Structure 1
C-alpha cells in the first residue's frame, strides 16, 4: 500500500486523484491522444495497480477529465469577475480571463479532449460550461442596465471566440486584449454613465 502523504486517508486519496488528473491533462496536451493508464500512472509516480483504485479504465479516466476541465474554466472566469470592482470591470474581466485561459492552453486541451473522449460527455459539459459562463455575464449586463441582455452577451462572446482564434493562430495575448478592450471600454463606460444618469421621472 502506498505511504500516505496527507493527514487523513481521504486527503491522501484527494491528492492522488488530483495528481492523476493533472498527469492525464499534461499527456493529452502534449500528444493530443488519449493517455494510457500506464503513462498516467508513471507520470503521477504511482504503480499502475494503485491507479485502478481511482479509475477503472481509460474511458473512466477520460470522463473524469471532461468533468474536471470545463468546471475549472467556469470557476476561474467567475472568480475573476467577482474580484472586479465595478460591473464594467466585470465585463472586461470576463473577456480577459477567457483570453488568458486560451493562452495557457485550456482551449486546446478542451478541443483535444472533445476529439478523444467517448460519447456525448464533452458536448454535454461544453453546453453546461457555456451556460455557466453566461450566467455571471448576463447578470452583470443586467446591472449595467443593458436593454438587450441576451443579444449583448452573445456579441461579447463573439469577441471572445474571435480572440481565441487569433491567440491560437499565434497572435500574442496583449495584442488581442488591447483590440478587445478598445472595442469594449466605450460600451461599458457608456452603460455605466447611462445607469448613473437620473431618469426624467426621478428628476
Structure 2
C-alpha cells in the first residue's frame, strides 16, 4: 500500500483523485486534448500510470468524471463572486469579471475540449444546465436593477462576455479585456442602480 498523505485512506484517495482531475483539466486547458492519456495525466499528478486505473477504468470514464466535475465548478465560482460583490449593479459586473477570470485560467478551453472529446447528450445537457445556472443569478440581478426584460438583457451581457472570451483566448491581456467589457456594461448598471432606470440607460 502506498504511503498515506492524509489522516484517513478515504481522504488520501479523494486527494489523489482530485490531483488526477486537476492534471487532466490542465492538459485540456493547454488545448492538447489528444494528449489526454493516462500516462500524461499520471505524470502531471505525480503518480504512477497504474495508479490512474484505481480511479478511472478508461479514458471515457475519466472524461465523464471531468464533465461531472468541471461544469459545476464554473457556476459555483461565478455565484460565489457575485454573492460577495454587494448590490445588483456590482453583481452584474462581478459576473462578467468572474467568467473572464475563468477563461484566462483555462477553464473555457478545457470545457471546449471536453465538448469536442465527448459530443454526447450528456455533454449537451451539462452545458445547458451550466448556462441556466449562470443565467439565473444574472437575471435576478438585472431584475433587481429594473430591467424590463431581464432575460433578454442577460443575453446582451453574455454577448459581451462571449466576445471578450474570444479576445482573451486570442492572447489579449485579461485586465484590458475586462476593462473594455466593464466600459460597455458599467454605465447601464450604475445608472440603473442610482436612478431606478427601467430598461434603458437614458436619464
TM-score under structure 1 length normalisation: 0.89
1:66-106 CA-partner distances (Å, limit 9, x unpaired): 11221111111111101102110000000011111111221
Q: Which runs of 5+ in 1 are unaligned?
A: 197-203
- Is this contact kept in 1: 2:29–2:108, CA < 8 A? no
Q: Which runs of 5+ in 2 are unaligned?
A: 198-203
CA RMSD of aligned residues (A): 1.7
SS of residue matched to 1:162: helix
Aligned to 1:155: 156
Aligned to 2:69: 68
Q: Structure 1 segments of 4 or more deviating over 3 A?
A: none
Paired with 1:149 and 1:158, the residues of 2 have a C-alpha distance of 14
TM-score under structure 2 length normalisation: 0.89
Paired with 2:43 and 2:142, the residues of 1 have a C-alpha distance of 47
Paired with 1:119 and 1:86, the residues of 2 have a C-alpha distance of 39
| Stretch moving more, 167-176 or 8-17 | 167-176
Aligned to 1:83: 84
| Stretch moving more, 24-33 or 181-190 | 24-33
Aligned to 1:128: 129
Matched residues, number:
196
Tell me which structure has the larger Cα radius of gyration.
1
Q: CA deviation at 1:27?
A: 2.3
Paired with 1:195 and 1:29, the residues of 2 have a C-alpha distance of 42
- Is this contact kept in 1: 2:28–2:109, CA < 8 A? no
Aligned to 1:21: 21
